[in-house]
Structure 1
Amino acid sequence: MKSKVIERIAAKILIEKYQLLENFYPDLLSGITDIIQKGKIASRFPYIEMKEDEISILIKAKELSELKIIELWNNQDTEEFRALCSIYFDIATLLDKDFEFKNEEEIYELIKIISFGYLGEHNHFVKNYLISKKELIENISVPEQWNSRLLVTIFKGIVCLVAKHSWKDIDNAVILINQLRKEQKDFESKFLNTVNEDSRPYGSAELVSLYHFAKTVEILGQYLLEGRVNGNEFDIENKIKYHLSVAKEFANASANIVLEMLYKYFEAFSIKLINIKTMENKVTPNQIIELINSLPDSEKHIFIENGKYWVTQEWLCGAFAGRAFVNEILEDAVQEMIDYLYKHIGHDSMVGNSVTKSGFPNLERVKQYCTPVESEQD
């Protein structure tokens, strides 16, 4: 009974959200709420088909949503802006049935879906959507043409960051970008040699633009892994804004206005992702690993047994209240321990007492708490 009430409330909220779009464009999108609802049902039940004119209206609604999002771009904290971004995500994911990701336009669209999904507070839905497309995305062939190769690889890196199943996925995003660096020398010259002389400045500008886009994805990956970038956890937003501002400048110089707008959306998404990461968990596995390795007897607290990583929190809570966390991936085992420690802050127990006294999650205080104090010699 309770679940049915919740479903009815959720349905009412959705209807009100789509009504917002209809209110903005009453002459162009009359009845759009019903069409979107039908599209959602059709996506779940194959025997219900959308008519061609209904699909055309959905396409128009998606385009008009984007126009209104741009109009409200400087008001991103408003409910209207977030609602419009989530509407774009909802409609766009109804229109992607024929996507094979074999051209730039479809790659652009999916990056836009990710960006607007996050800006519309649809983080969980974005991840589930990408997971549903996992096989299709993994099977995208990486083109030989350098500019397309850059775009597809960057896109795959973004998917690794957003749809991560483990810390290894984030690491894979950074690996993908590093692989592009190794390939640059061979592929770049071949690409520019195929471009006619008049178009070469535009082609070169597009490459520079994509290089800075790739750098942005690498920075995001490093931040999600380490909690900082090159030792400075406070400069992440400025680094993102710098590289994307250069990317936008060169996209404009290459006359690729669609790519320029995409960077604008991706910048807002990146900052959103950073803020979510900051709020969710300031302590990262790599920071804890670094801390444990700096303590005496660290090999007793991180070790491999039967092909799996074992991590204990005895370094913090003592052997009597110790517990081991086991996983095939070291960072995931450490993440389980971090989650465990957070749950015990202020908890009335031996573990809770140690965690609270240590000052966790302030790792500087934790290190002082765990470091033996040498007695003074007379």
Structure 2
Amino acid sequence: MSDRFAGKLLAWYDQHGRHDLPWHFDRNAYRVWVSEIMLQQTQVATVIPYFQAFMERFPDVQALASAPVDDVLGHWSGLGYYARARNLQKAAITIVEDFGGEFPDNPEELETLTGIGRSTAAAIVAQAYGKRAAILDGNVKRVLARYHAIAGWPGQTAVLNQLWEHAEEHTPEERPRDYTQAIMDLGAMVCTRTRPDCESCPLSNGCQAYARGETRLYPGSKPKKEKPEKATWMIIVEDEDGRILLERRPPSGIWGGLWSLPELDPALGADELQEACEQHLGMSCSEPELISGFRHTFSHYHLHIQPARLALTQPSKIADADQHRWFHRDEALVLGLPAPIRTLLTQPEQAALL
């Protein structure tokens, strides 16, 4: 093998790598693709049970393409970054309609599908088809940034371009499937973000950051920016049959397409919630019972949630529709619900601890 980097890495992988991940069995492009999307910004240990349940419900791309979106989001609930699930189904529909249900075996065509970028397309080609293709996920960026002492935050174009050059340079023609798994494993298991185990690393002899004693400096951090603070009322309205009113979120944005609790203007006082329910939702409700508020952090802002429980006092004017719908709790819990909303509906006292 011409590249010593790849040779050392593969020798390490043969002894220490992960060979028994669920998507390694019955391996095909569909299973690899779903695993790659789930693994974006999510740890392997978290993904495994979700992947297994997802495969049981949607065993192939046809099953995913034809499923109700609420079912797809329900099986994603708790994983976060819900645009991934929506994009997954959009791409599945395209694969069925435009590619006859067969995944392309080249990165260029794969990148035309919703939610598939350069690294994900390469991972599918390498892992599913055994073809040479360079990947560059978060773990790989960290390994290469340290090995070559590439300064700067990988989100900057110049830094990213350097990392891609090295990713291409080191990816071998032989055993590309094992190599791509090996370099991801090294980043996840040895070349970790906070406490890299450099003494156990097969690449330490050539690693420039290690030689300088500066592994903590690579890769560079994203420039810090204060997250804005936002607030909202979330109301739990229960009718005489014990059903809860849920509201579908807009298709894009935070929690896009998921079912959530109706929200009201955070500027309202607690004594104004009854009137607000009448004005905005056409419902007559009891006085609110306040539940402990809590803060939920998104990638780009903090949201202060103040929940309130109200009982419907007159028959609602809201009929089941696409935007609003009444659900019994057991029905709601199989839907795609944001994690804090699921906790509010099941253990409201725990929501304050989120």
Q: TM-score, normalised by structure 1?
A: 0.24
Q: Which structure would you say has the larger RCO, counting Cα contacts within 8 Å and 6 or more residues apart?
A: 2
More helix by share: 1
